[in-house]
Amino acid sequence: MAIFYNIMLGYFFGFALGVGCALAVFYAIYSGGYRKAVEHSLLQEKPKRYQEEMAAAIRRAEKAKPGPI
């Protein structure tokens, strides 16, 4: 019966905490990038990379527009 508890502890620490920590790291990276994007959007003179990505996003949005019916 003791091996069952060891297995359950291993699964708990491996999956529950491991996946939870990975999600926390992913969220921190995502929110940090989002904050930086908002910062760049508020600048008077936009960085070159921001302008390039904005132009690409506009092109993708125009391509995805449905045509006339």
Q: Could you read off the pLDDT tens digit of each residue along the chain, which spans 69 residues?
A: 778 888 888 888 777 778 878 888 888 888 888 888 888 888 899 889 889 989 999 999 999 887 666
pTM: 0.46
Angle between helices 48-64 and 18-42 (to 10 degrees): 100
Residue 47 is predicted with a pLDDT of 87
Residue 58 is predicted with a pLDDT of 94
Residue 52 is predicted with a pLDDT of 93
Instruction: Report the distance separating Cα 10 and Cα 19, nearest Å.
Output: 13
> For the chain, what are the domain ranges?
23-64
